[in-house]
Amino acid sequence: MRSAAGWAEAHQVPLYVAGLVLGAALGLAVPTVAGPAEAVINPVLALLLYATFLGIPFARMGEALRDVRFLGTVLAVNFVAVPVVVLALSRIVAHDRVLLVGVLFVLLTPCVDYVIVFSGLAGGAQDRLLAAAPLLMLVQMVLLPLYLWLFVGADVVRTVEYGPFAEAFVWVIAVPLLLAGATQWAAARTRWGAELAAAVAGAMVPIMVLTLAVVVVSQIAGVRDQLSSLLLAVPVYVLFAAVMTPVGAAAGRAAGLDVPSRRSVVFSGVTRNSLVILPLVLALPAEYALAPLVVVTQTLVELVVMVLFVRLIPRLIR
């Protein structure tokens, strides 16, 4: 089992690409699987976060919470630098209000779930990102209406429902975190706990492959059907990742952070909260019917970027 886990770890990027490709192939060949696949996104994501949290020593969480420089840098990147970059890049789709609203929703909200996983795969500071997750979730809930009001007007702000934010945080972050803590406690005291922890840790790469495949399967057919309307959003998302990478790296360096923390700042600045934001966008009025697919398109672009970043960021930030 250890040899299989070691092989998967050594070949993780090709396996992730395979997950993306297989998910796209299945979703395009059998569009009817999109509904069932979408229904299991959150459970699969929760499993992925459980496996991730299990590898983070909870004894280090107190230290991570006291790392004011890291928390301040992540907040500055996501809520000062990102809005400026988004305002500039969103001019590409400013002529189309629906595209604009979808782009703003997804790019103005930092990721709080699988960013922890990808950051860890690239040698980032998982414990610090985990400690920052509740703060990032709270601040984006408060500031998103303000940014939407400034960029598109009050009519969009009045339609936003925030229940999905809280629900996603409970099921995708809080529950896996509690289960991981209980498993770590059992692993230190019982044989079955130690075996369970080892098995889950060894399955980390397959769980990530499953997550990538499920997300792509659930969304690819809808994006294909509206591709001509969505194409203009793709360069916005690619440019966002390209711009925020040096911005995050520079911010981490200016703050005097160590290498793992600087890598995590880059991942936090680039990765967006698309899976949590999607229910909010689905609740918008009928005239914004295309906006959810605008968000989904960002997810698909971002997954490809994240797979590349697992290898790229350790080379950029040594």
Q: Which of 163, 199, 195, 250 is nearest to 1 (CA)?
A: 199
Do 300 and 219 meet the contact criterion of CB atoms below 8 Å apart? yes
Q: Is 260 exposed, middle or buried (0-12, 13-18, 19+ CB in 10 A)?
A: buried
Q: What is the pLDDT of residue 1?
A: 62
pLDDT mean values, one per 10 residues, the chain (318 residues): 74 87 94 92 88 78 82 97 97 94 96 89 92 88 92 83 77 88 92 91 89 90 91 96 98 97 98 85 85 91 94 95
Q: What is the pLDDT of residue 173?
A: 81
Q: What is the pLDDT of residue 10?
A: 77
Count helices and strands in the chain by DSSP H and E runs: 20, 0
Residue 205 makes CB contacts below 8 A (sequence gap 6+) with 5, 8, 9, 12, 15
Overall pTM > 0.95: no
Domains of the chain by start residue, with CATH: 12-316 (1.20.1530.20)
